[in-house]
Amino acid sequence: MNGRPKTFDDHSIIEKAQRVFWKKGYASTSTDELLVAMGIGRGSFYLAFKDGKKELFLKTIRQFHNEGINKLKADINASDNAVEIVREFFNTIAKSKTDRHLNGCFIGNTLVEMASQDEDIREEAIAILKELEQVFYKAILTGQKSGQLKTKTDARLLARQLITIWNGLNVTRRMYPSHTILKSLIETQLQILI
């Protein structure tokens, strides 16, 4: 049986919460702030997310990741050059707006902030980054099989280097929030993909 209808849908309020969490991190974001950003009241929030802030956060990073990874996979599938899509993926860092640099990678931030604080959140962040690494891995394998990638380096190791470069760029971009600096840095780092 149906009761009073919801005035919101989970997907859109999670997206609104995401912007706040991404900018401020987990601990520094208050539930009050989240409620204002999501545009709902306390009653609705704790009904929709029984375990409160932590449940919302886990759903937020999951939704953020799913949409990003699905787009990346689709782009790769639609292309005949998987490695080139990976390159473009890295280049979005340099192309993003200047104020975005300070925010870094939402998942990397989460891993850094929560690694010693919350096992559940840490493991979720690790799993997400490993899924991204896995996409890199498959793209590299594809490139090596097609001959577009000449390097004989083990694809697993190359993928692990890529995720490390990704993590690093998302810290370094805060030091150098400059289009040109980041562009040349990314280009140089990606020379491992030869």
Binding stretches for DNA (CB under 7 A) = 1-8, 29-33, 40-44, 46-48, 51-54
Choose from its own copies, DNA, none: what does 97 bind? Cβ within 5-8 Å by kind. none
| Of 114, 2, 14, 126, nearest in space to 64 by CA | 14
- Asked if 44 touches its own copies (CB under 8 A), the answer is no
Q: State the nearest-atom distance from the C-beta of 45 to DNA, in Å.
A: 7
Number of residues in contact with its own copies, rule: CB under 8 A?
A: 42
Query: Would you say 186 and 90 are in contact if contact means Cβ atoms under 8 Å apart?
Result: yes
To which residue do tokens 């050059």 refer?
A: 81
By CB under 8 A, name the one of 129, 139, 155, 193 that touches its own copies: 129
* Residue 76-115 contact track with its own copies, rule CB under 8 A, x = bound: --------------------------xxx---xx-xxx-x
| Of 128, 58, 17, nearest in space to 50 by CA | 58
Contacts to its own copies by CB under 8 A: 23-25, 27-28, 102-104, 108-109, 111-113, 115-117, 122, 126, 129-130, 153, 157, 160-161, 163-172, 174-176, 181, 184-185, 188-189
